[in-house]
Every structure is written in structure tokens, then in C-alpha cells.
Chain A
Amino acid sequence: GNSVTQMEGPVTLSEEAFLTINCTYTATGYPSLFWYVQYPGEGLQLLLKATKADDKGSNKGFEATYRKETTSFHLEKGSVQVSDSAVYFCALSPGGTGRRALTFGSGTRLQVQP
């Protein structure tokens, strides 16, 4: 079946530090990949996505590249801010014509200190 593995948190960084959150996946075919962010007390928001190999998704300074050869979709940001403190979820939507519901990783909590 499909699965997503994320690095465990919490990840604690100082403001303006470089961020990497690792995500690897297992899926048949050609899934689409997503990063969602959850701020305290809120629902999940789509942060970025990539739908085919070598695509780069980007939004709000965050980037992730769909690497089929390593089955990875690592999230990066060059300079984090306190306002980036949240839980980040990597997710996949399987390819093909079957069910398109999302499979999520366990989430990674990011804490950014001033």
C-alpha cells in the first residue's frame, strides 16, 4: 500500500536558519505529492504540491522537489521566521483512476525561536 514517512520532530531552529524536513514515500505508479501546514488550533492548509517527477512546488519561501529516483519530497526554506512555527505534513495522492484520497505522514512540528 501507499505510505509516507517523515522525520520526527520537534525541529527547533533559530530565526533565519535553514530548514529541511525530510519526507519519503512508497506508492505504486505516479503519485502527486503535497505539503500541508497546520497552525495551532487550525485545520490543515495546502502549502505546496508537485504532480510529476522533477517538478518543484513552491510557496511562501518554501520549496520541495519531487524526486522519483529517491522517492522523496523534502521541504526546504532558506530563512525561517517565528511565524513558520507549525506542524508540517507530507502527503501523497495516488496516481491512476482509483481512490484519490490523501495518505499522510505523521507530521513534523517546527518551533522557531526568536
Chain B
Amino acid sequence: NAGVTQTPKFQVLKTGQSMTLQCAQDMNHEYMSWYRQDPGMGLRLIHYSVGAGITDQGEVPNGYNVSRSTTEDFPLRLLSAAPSQTSVYFCASRTSRDADYGYTFGSGTRLTVV
């Protein structure tokens, strides 16, 4: 089924460890974004990309890196995990052809840093 696939669904990390959250979409969407969801704060933008090779920072980029080598994939890297990064992470994508088209979201990755 077409959509946005995130892996893993759950992850527990120790403080200081690094990891990559994977995101892939098969809809040929140009725009992709990473959000984190924390209780009472809605979703906050971490990084986004408007196409392969083009990325930019969002509202809360510190501690995270991204790259976009292909249209399909947009991995999010945690360089040195901290308890403050405990959150649910969502990847989302949309086409660039319709500026008001809604984003398609993945099912999320629940990350706990201990």
C-alpha cells in the first residue's frame, strides 16, 4: 500500500547512544518532514526537505541530523541521545504540485532515552 513507512515502531536507547530513524515514502513526494510529538505541545518541526539533496532546519533541530540522497528516503539521525529526546517521532510527506495538499503521515516511532 502506498504511504509513509517508519521504522522502528519502538526503540529504547541509553543516554549517549546514536541511532537512525528510517522514513520511506513511495508516492514520489518531493516534500518530507520530521516532527516530534510531546504531551501538551502538539507536533514540532525538526527538519524538512523540499527535494533530494535539499534540507533545512525546523523549529527544534538541535541534536538531530538529516540527509536526503533520494526522493524516497529521509532518515533522521540522533547523534548522542539525551532523555529530552524521549518522544514520538513522525515523518510526513506531500507533493509539491499542489501547495495546499495535505501531508501524509507515517505511524510514528516511539523513542525512549534512559
Contacts and interface: CB of A to CB of B under 8 A. Distances in A.
A14 to B, nearest CB: 26
B39 to A, nearest CB: 9
> DSSP majority for the A interface?
strand
B74 interface: no
Contacts of B100: 32, 49, 51, 93
B86 to A, nearest CB: 18
A56 to B, nearest CB: 15
A26 interface: no
A29 interface: no
Contact of B42 (A43, A51, A89): A89
A42 B107 contact: yes
A34 interface: yes
Contacts of A43: 4, 90, 105-108
Contacts, number: 54
A44 B105 contact: yes
A45 B35 CA distance: 14
Interface residues of A, number: 22
A79 B72 CA distance: 40
21 contacts: A4-B42, A32-B100, A36-B102, A36-B105, A43-B4, A43-B108, A45-B105, A46-B103, A93-B100, A99-B56, A100-B99, A101-B45, A102-B43, A102-B45, A102-B92, A103-B45, A104-B35, A104-B42, A105-B42, A106-B40, A107-B42
Interface in A31-45: 32, 34, 36, 42-45
Contacts of B104: 46
Given A100-B99, A101-B48, A106-B41, A44 B90 contact: yes
Nearest to B94: A100
Interface in B1-51: 4, 31, 33, 35, 40-45, 48
Interface in A41-73: 42-46, 49, 51
A2 B88 CA distance: 23
Nearest to B88: A43
